[in-house]
Amino acid sequence: MPVTFLGVRHHSPACARLVGGTIARLRPAYVLIEGPADFNPRIGELLLGHELPIAVFSSYRDDARRHASWSPLCDYSPEWAALTAGEAAGARLRFIDLPAWHPAFEDRANRYADAELRYAEVIARLCRSFDVDNVDALWDHLFEIAPEEGLAERLDAYFDLIRGESRASDSDTAREAYMSTWVEAAAAAAGDRPVVVVTGGFHRPALVAAHARAASDRTASERAAPDDAAPGRTASDGAAPDRAAPDRGGASWAGGEPRPAEADRGWPAVPGMPDGAVGGSFLVPYSFRRLDSFDGYQSGMPSPGYYQELWESGAESAGRRLVEAVAERLRERKQPVSTADLIAARATADGLAIVRGHPVAGRTDVLDGLASALVSEALDVPLPWSSRGMLGAGSHPVVVEMVAALSGSRVGRLHPATPAPPLVHDLDAELARSGLDGIDDLDLDLARDSDRERSRTLHRVRVLGVPGFVRESGPATGLEPVLRERWTLRPSNDRLSAVIEAGAYGATLADACAAVLAERAALAGRDVDVLAGVLFDAALAGSADVSGRTLADIEATVGAAGELGTLGKMLAVVLTMWRHDRVLGTAHSGTLGAVIAAAVRRILWLAEGVHGGTAPAEPARIAALAACRDALRHAGDRLGLDPSAALEVAGRVAADVQAPPDLRGAAFGFRWALSPARPTSPIPDSAGPDPAGPDPAGPDAADVIGAAAGADDGLDPVRAVRGAFQPRGAGDWLAGLFALAREEVLHDGRVVGLLDELMSGLSAEDFLVALPALRQAFEYFPPREREAIADQVLARRGRGGGGRRLLRSADDPEVVAAGMALDDLVEAVLRREALLGAGHDRS
Amino acid sequence: MTVLEVTDPADAVQRPPAEVRFADELARLRAADTAARPPGWQLSVQAARRFVIGDPKLAVTRKFVGDPSLIDRALITLATSRGLMLVGEPGTAKSLLSELLAAAVSGASTLTIQGGAATTEDAIRYSWNYALLVAEGPSTRSLVPAPLLRGMAEGRTVRFEEITRCPLEVQDCLLSPLSDRVLAIPELTGPESMVFARDGFNIIATANTRDRGVNDMSSALKRRFNFETVFPIADFGTELTLVADEAAKLLRRSGVTAEPRRDVLEVLVTTFRELRTGETARGDSMERLSAVMSTAEAVSVAHAIGLRGWFLRGEPGTTEDLVACLAGTAAKDSPEDLAKLRRYLSQQVTWRKGDQWKALHDARHLLPG
């Protein structure tokens, strides 16, 4: 009963060829494949005749954690070759790895990621000794475009070297122990017929060693029942997959119940889910784009489009196709690609292949050739295939097209007889339960629990992009008090296909919606508006709490945001939702809290970088600082935001002569509003001229504030106002101050008095220059408070009467202006005729 | 007449050219070289590649830290009919790379044209010995060949440093040597009036991306070059090791016996990398400094830190020294950069773990201004 262990790299055409050839030659009784063992009873579903790529999608949910992962398969996957060749050879097919929900896969979204990447050091040494950039180039060099003879031996040597003496992680050890039990069971069941085991090459050395140990043990005990790897379960399942009857699979995804014992011949038990957990595995269509979009430890072989071509027609033709595809794509986009360029690309690729010792030009040879010939300027980011990562922002357009051509656009399709993904059933059930499955026009009141439930369901369906569900009106920003929603439901023929497609995101409506939102958050890049949309959709759909990974994506978007205004707008919305929103249930949500913390940090960072001299006030950026102030005030303690660091930043901005006046005023107001101790002026309402320059807080103020937030130095509003009061910038500066410290200004009468004094001192012309911005600044006070200010001014001048009168100017401004012009004219005439005494000069 | 006539290079010359510094390695590579050589080359492409990226078997040191594929592409370009243009930020070892490539391909790296605002065609192609010109008229005797003419006539690699510092019309005199591989000398008559390039001739030009837009190359000239962008060292560990080694070397030469502290260097290299890329370890984006934050600058800052610590207090340099030195390198005379640096030290340092980061934050007041 010889067991052949084939260690492969997932999604490697060379390995797939080796697997197919070996199975056809050996005609084994059993083909054991690294894949979710709980899918064994339905393994026949895989062979119905799908268009690849497809994936086995596994989902899991219990009280503590949620998990979704994929086992993608394409034409050139060794696992796929094992399935098809095994079937052709009449072998029994078994998946032998732990189910995807098992804790061993806790941090894995892609079962077929490269395990060896987690053991990077040896890879780095290998790359160094072969003088290649990264593991992908190394792999191509050693296997994909290397001669086929000796491939198996090379693979074994490669993976033995990588595995070396390094201790595998606990999760890898657990998986290997489990897979070994299957190997022994299959070896026992096969009698003297061969068994072929196809697993990731990284696991092979461990499996071979375990098999050798088992063989020596077997002489002692012939029936070594493998039971130690599946604690708490008796052997019950896994045998005899019914390939002919795949129909029962679709509905049986809910976990928790052990499957009926079909044969008790010492096959390992499939671990059952813990009580209360739901989940399962099923087939979903997949795409090259998604296959190529895993990164970090989740990533596998890149460039599915290229390797598909290599699998179908060989390396030479794949290289040629790649060049053609890139040229086509570039020409479609009106980028110049001359014949001379293509000749140069070809010549360079062939030259590189010779230098690197390749029989034909491989992936990187062709890519390097194209880059040499087509890119005729400096690159901003390194070529993506040299560093093994995602396409960075700022990639050269030629490089972007090259990567797109490598990736390919193939989309898989399931055979119609495949059981529909559970999302289809879940969605239908949810809609039926809420009475949303017919033609309808709904008017929902979000304050009512039942309507809110229905609204959530509808929003989830909308987020999944299922046609036929349109929201006509409803809350749009999270700030306005709209509590009614109108929906139009018109069932559409395209609904089923859309839901099947969305089935790859999750098994239930809620999970799938959360996954789609997570994907949108990851794709947001630097666009804060997109992110705000995602967060609002999440709130509407009732899935505001997201995974750690998505939270990291969200924080990355906020951390990369470049514009103060949009960020401030988002912060204001999110803060309101975090503080008050009991309707959508987002009050004190952890996700929003993290967004608030990140946004506060980023706004402070950006505020210090705005340099614009005397640029006019921008209400949006003032509002950003105001939102920041509110966040520190209302959420600071709870979210652990550091007010002293914020005050330090504000101190520097307020004192920065390069910063625009509105921001300086806002920063000053920020400090005033947030300082624990109210400032008191050492010189009460000084009337005499103060020599404080335009830099009232002084450059060292920041340090003092940092040491003792709220100290008086640099926080004296009288000094600050006096220093900032120049006709051109005064209104802008005051706009910032009033927006951030409105109440403080009202309560501290000195500022109003000082402003009255300073404005009276302005010449007529300066006053006109300052007027528009001053008007804008005082707009920050609501009418009632403006009246209070007017009262203060009148009282200060010893005039009676209410301030209200001052605010209600019934006269047409044009008449006033004409009157002033007439006054000026008369005065000019009087002056010309020397009829104006020196003592009568207008002040 | 090829290289500097130096009797004892190690003694007499501050920095001998690569072919002298690494003469042993080149000889070993040449002896072991069995692969086919491109016409006019001193080494095969494979051997030239090993000369640059190192070969432990022949005791050839690694001289350039970067992607091996960059070297492959550069060498293949040199073997084709297009020139090689190395572009990148200042301090990314472009000139070193061009020197190494020229030494490997032609055995000589001294046919060098230094580009600048005052570079004229005379300094590129040829000029005249005016005494002889007046006495005898134009002849090969009165002709004084410049690097381009010599490279073409002798079949060697010509280096053109900082090509974009030259005025556009001066750059364009490379057009016909690169495309037709011929240089006309109209003053001479007969066969001597045309110099045809011999096998082995090609041009390695370097250009600084900071100069982009100053004297942008004409598209005709661009088309005759393959562009290779040289990036700063991508891997943190590699850069840290390089900085530590080079700084230790410099410090020993300066008579400092204390080894630089690794944790301080880590902070230094991280700071340099983040200010250079405009992205923090957490992923926040920042504005880059306008000053050059290259690895070479990091080495010189590490050197300065060590000197300060040793000669002022008799200990290895600390993070405070780092802040003091940063002002000089990073900010130089630019108040904007100083403000950016201050902003970085006060806002992007606090969230990191580690004593040195805390010390860095506390030392932010040492920045001048």
Q: Report the chain A residue with the minimal C-alpha distance to residue B339.
A: A609
In the prediction, which pLDDT does A228 show?
Answer: 45
In the prediction, which pLDDT does B100 show?
Answer: 93
A378, A387, A605 member nearest B234 (Cβ): A387
B369 contacts in chain A (CB < 8 Å): 699
Structure tokens at B43: 């080494």
Q: Domain residues of chain B, as ranges?
A: 9-230, 236-366
Q: Please report, for residues A82, A100, A232, the alpha-carbon distance to residue A183 in angstroms, rounded to integers and kept in the order given.
A: 15, 19, 20
Task: Place B1 in a pLDDT band, splitting at 50, 70 and 90.
Answer: very low
CA angle A247, A253, A254 (to 5 degrees): 140
User: Can you spell out the DSSP letters for A490-527?
Assistant: ---TTHHHHHHHHGGG-SSHHHHHHHHHHHHHHHTTT-
Is A344 close to B226, i.e. CB distance below 8 A? yes
- Running along chain A, 843 residues long, what does each successive block of 10 average in pLDDT? 84 89 89 88 86 84 76 90 90 87 78 71 82 85 84 86 76 87 86 88 86 78 49 40 39 39 65 79 83 69 86 87 88 86 88 87 88 84 76 79 84 83 86 83 84 88 87 76 82 79 81 85 82 85 75 84 86 83 75 87 88 78 90 85 86 85 89 70 39 40 39 69 80 88 84 85 82 86 85 80 68 80 88 72 46
pLDDT in tens, B116-164: 888 888 889 999 999 999 998 898 899 999 999 999 999 999 999 998 8
Residue A608 forms contact with B (CB below 8 Å)? yes
In the prediction, which pLDDT does A230 show?
Answer: 41
In the prediction, which pLDDT does B11 show?
Answer: 60
In the prediction, which pLDDT does A101 show?
Answer: 80
CB B3 within 8 A of CB B108: yes
B227, B282, B286 member nearest A378 (Cβ): B227
Averaged pLDDT of chain B:
86
Task: Place B97 in a pLDDT band, splitting at 50, 70 and 90.
Answer: very high
B46 contacts in chain A (CB < 8 Å): 355
In the prediction, which pLDDT does B213 show?
Answer: 62
Q: Report the chain B residue with the minimal C-alpha distance to residue A130.
A: B68
CATH code for residues B9-230? 3.40.50.300
User: Can you spell out the DSSP letters for A44-58?
Assistant: GGGGS-PBSPEEEEE
Alpha-carbon gap, residue A577 to A595, rounded angstroms: 11
In the prediction, which pLDDT does A396 show?
Answer: 83
pLDDT in tens, B336-368: 888 888 888 888 888 888 888 888 888 888 887
Q: Domain residues of chain A, as ranges?
A: 3-110+152-277, 302-407, 422-509, 524-641, 671-808, 809-843
Is A387 close to B227, i.e. CB distance below 8 A? no
Residue A611 forms contact with B (CB below 8 Å)? yes
Kind and range of the H or E run holding A613: none
Interface of A with B in 550-579 (CB under 8 A): 555-556, 559-560, 562
H-type helices in B281-318, by residue range?
295-308
A348, A386, A560 member nearest B285 (Cβ): A560
Parallel, antiparallel or unpaired: strands A66-73 and A3-8 = unpaired
What's this model's pTM, rounded to 2 decimal places? Answer: 0.76
Tell me the residue type at A440.
Answer: D
DSSP B114: E
Is B347 close to A604, i.e. CB distance below 8 A? yes
Tally of CB atoms within 10 A around A602? 26
In the predicted structure, residue B244 carries a pLDDT above the cut 80:
yes
Question: Percentage of residues in chain B with pLDDT exceeding 70?
Answer: 95
CA angle A558, B331, A665 (to 5 degrees): 55
Residue A703 forms contact with B (CB below 8 Å)? yes
Residue A641 forms contact with B (CB below 8 Å)? no
- Residue among A509, A519, A589, A588 at smallest CA distance from A553: A519
For residue A251, report the phi and psi dihedrals to the nearest 5 degrees: -90, -15
- DSSP-based three-state secondary structure for A582: coil
- In B74-151, the DSSP E strands lie at 83-88, 112-114, 126-128, 143-145
B54: left (phi over 0), alpha (psi -120 to 50) or beta: left
Alpha-carbon gap, residue A405 to A329, rounded angstroms: 8
A379 contacts in chain B (CB < 8 Å): 227, 229, 231
Q: Report the chain A residue with the minimal C-alpha distance to residue B56.
A: A129
Q: How far apart are the first and last CA of chain B?
A: 54
Per-residue b or e along A483-511, where b marks 16 or more CB atoms closer than 10 Å to that residue's CB: eebebebeeeeebeebbbbbbbbbbbbbb
Alpha-carbon gap, residue A441 to A436, rounded angstroms: 10
Q: Report the chain B residue with the minimal C-alpha distance to residue A369.
A: B73
Q: Report the chain B residue with the minimal C-alpha distance to residue A699.
A: B369
A368, A371, A378 member nearest B88 (Cβ): A378
Assembly ipTM: 0.83
Q: Which of A290-294, A338-342, B52-56, B182-186 shows the lowest per-residue confidence on average (mean pLDDT)?
A: A290-294
Q: Which of B33, B70, B236, B284 to mutate to test the interface with A (most CBs of A within 10 A)?
A: B284
- Residue among A385, A355, A361 at smallest CA distance from B53: A355
Is B347 close to A382, i.e. CB distance below 8 A? no
